[in-house]
Amino acid sequence: MSIIETRDLRKAYRLGAVEARALNGVSISVERGEMVSIVGPSGSGKSTLMNIIGCLDAPTSGSYLLEGEETSGWGDGRLAGARNRKIGFVFQTYNLLPRLTALGNVELALLYGDRRNARERSLRALDAVGLSHRSRHRPGELSGGEQQRVAIARALVKSPTIVLADEPTGALDSRSSAEIMAILQRLNREEGLTVALVTHEREIAEHTRRIISVRDGLIVGDERVRSPRTARTAEAEG
């Protein structure tokens, strides 16, 4: 059973009399434990696709099965519930709250879910991204790469089924980008976490085993990468 399966997914936005068609029939499936990137030029529909996969938005037509469950027809409440339990989000701009510590930001993700052992689980999530020693720091006292690691810990703390990352390295220098990719690769390899990331950088996409290309709201490529880049290689290349 695929963890993500879409069939003929379409999404149109109405802007007054004009209709913008963001997705024009996207059918993909992603297996549990895969790490995939979604690439394509700006405006090709990547974010729209990620938003639907992340239960942030519903398609105009077509079907989306999340862990085998048909989601089309779900209302906002049900989408929010699935999103909260199953999806961890990582954004380009980290989206951390500046007044909370790293630990506070991670714990906040547990506000609406299972709050048992929240402190301990949050510390464990920070440890998983190598940041336990920064748990008391606020975002402003951390580098961009460290902030993104806090954001990954925040995504992980709920033990999601899938981590969705929208341009997770978009605001980072190449060294921090390599670190973030190394962490995502390790979580995928060692914890079996399913990871889907959007990127416009070919080099970042080559860190995943599969690259799905989107253009004009359609899948135009789906390639297997025989030997994905590792962060070590990226660092050695400077």
CB of 21 to ligand ADP, least distance (A): 7
CB of 222 to ligand ADP, least distance (A): 16
Which is closer to ligand ADP, CB of 121 or CB of 210?
A: 210
Tokens of 66: 């999340």
Taking a C-beta distance cutoff of 8 angstroms, is the pair 155, 86 a contact? no
Rounded distance, CA 91 to CA 170, Å? 9
Q: Coil, strand, or helix at residue 129?
A: coil
In the region spanning residues 125 to 144, those forming contacts with ligand ADP, defined by CB under 6 A, are none
DSSP character at residue 133: G
Q: Is residue 97 involved in binding ligand ADP (CB under 6 A)?
A: no
Q: Is residue 19 involved in binding ligand ADP (CB under 6 A)?
A: no
Q: Is residue 42 involved in binding ligand ADP (CB under 6 A)?
A: yes
By DSSP bridging, strand 69-70 and strand 61-66 are antiparallel
Of 6, 44, 135, 176, the residue at the interface with ligand ADP (CB under 6 A) is 44
Which is closer to ligand ADP, CB of 44 or CB of 71?
A: 44
Rounded distance, CA 210 to CA 203, Å? 13
Other Cβ atoms less than 10 A from the Cβ of 92: the count is 17
Q: Is residue 17 involved in binding ligand ADP (CB under 6 A)?
A: no
**Only segment of 46-54, 78-86, 122-130, 227-235 that touches ligand ADP (CB under 6 A):** 46-54
Judged by CB under 6 A, how many residues of this single chain contact ligand ADP? 12
Other Cβ atoms less than 10 A from the Cβ of 22: the count is 25
Please report, as ranges, the residues that interact with ligand ADP according to CB under 6 A.
13, 15, 20, 22, 40, 42-48
